[in-house]
Amino acid sequence: RQSLSKLMHVWKRSEGNLKTSYTQNDYHIPINKFNIDENIDEDNSIFNCSSISLLLEKNEKKILLLADSKSSIIVDALTARGFSSENKVRLDLVKISHHGSLKNTSNELLSIICCDVFLISTDGTKHAHPNKSLIARLLRKFPNSKIYLNYNYLIERLLLSEDGEYRSRVLPMPHRMEI
């Protein structure tokens, strides 16, 4: 509630100045060159602090929809439910936060989830999203994972010839996906 209250005051002042993240992409770096254990400063913008995320469960399937949420808020919510790096939440699908921004998906969050299917929704035209460094983290920390992007051309922009071993795991999002 506090975040939402703050947002109401900030929103009017910030109109037209919504710059909240990177402007340069990291697509020129091969996946194996990223330091996937590096801690990154979290996105603390009021806009993302007020985002709504959902953990959906039905018929023993679990989907985590992260909207534009901050990792620390999600980690707090999951640990309050008893999940940890020793007792990971098993998920069938995760929609990655904030269009694939590295600043919204921490190593701490990744350490308490077990998932092999990730979705990233972005057209890649603003804020250099998705961050290739986040793609590298997902691919290397979850060796059996697949990452689905909703725009096919992003795959070609992201993956270099040096990234060949990962090409079969970064895929266009199907029109229909069954989990």
Per residue in 146-160, pLDDT tens? 999 998 889 999 999
Neighbours of 4 (CB within 10 A): 11
Report how far residue 14's alpha carbon sits from residue 122's, in angstroms, rounded to the nearest whole number: 23
pLDDT digits (tens, 9 = 90+) for 79-118: 999 999 999 999 999 999 987 888 889 999 999 999 999 9
State residue 156 phi and psi, 5-degree precision. Answer: -70, -35
pLDDT value for 76:
96
- What is the tens place of the pLDDT at every residue in 28-53? 999 999 999 998 888 777 776 778 89
46 φ, ψ to 5°?
A: -60, -30
Cα–Cα distance between 135 and 118 in angstroms, integer?
10
| CA–CA dist 151, 66 (Å, integer) | 19
DSSP reduced 3-state for 111:
helix
The pTM of the full predicted model, rounded to 2 decimals, is 0.85
Instruction: Note the pLDDT of residue 33.
Output: 97
Q: Which has the minimum average pLDDT: 69-78, 85-94, 123-132, 170-179?
A: 123-132
